[in-house]
Amino acid sequence: MANATAAPLLPAAGRSTEIRSPADGEAVALAEVGDGVFSERMLGDGAAVRPTSGHVLAPVSGQVVSVLPHAYGLRTDDGLDVLVHVGIDTVELEGRGFAPRVEQGAEVRAGDPLVQVDLDVLAGAGLDPTVVVVVPTTVTDGTVHGLEPRVLAAGDRLVVVTR
């Protein structure tokens, strides 16, 4: 009997994945996000979008591996994990203002709806609606690059991950 080898935890090297903007708005560097967990890259590298609408879309194609009203974990077919976190401190709302459009286990294509967010509810609670997209450090040793602070439409290239 041959020895079974566990699949590697890291995606294969030499690949690039384009991460698209999950929302219409202004692209900003993580360092500009008002939450140290994101701005100091404790959860991984990535970028953020200050949204101008509440439509939040999948930034990559893959499987939905986790769903909270304010946060969505996606895994691409080649094993890259991507976290989409809507707003700063929005967990405090306990789902109020969020209408998820996907369930855990669903397959999505880049551009498919993840959640509809009522930006007025966030504003009324004094919360920042910035949508953060990160590649968790426990998943990849890759590099996130190509961020250009600018106004973009949902689906435009936000960053590229090389690994």
Which residues are catalytically annotated?
85
The per-residue DSSP string of 35-64 comes to -HHHHTTSSEEEEEEEESSSEEE-SS-EEE
Give the type of residue at 72. Y
- Burial of 55 (C-beta count, 10 Å sphere; 0-12/13-18/19+): middle
**Tokens standing for 84?**
């989409």
User: Residue 74 pairs with which residues in a beta bridge?
Assistant: 64, 82
- Residues sharing a CB contact under 8 Å with residue 1, sequence separation 6 or more, in sequence order: none
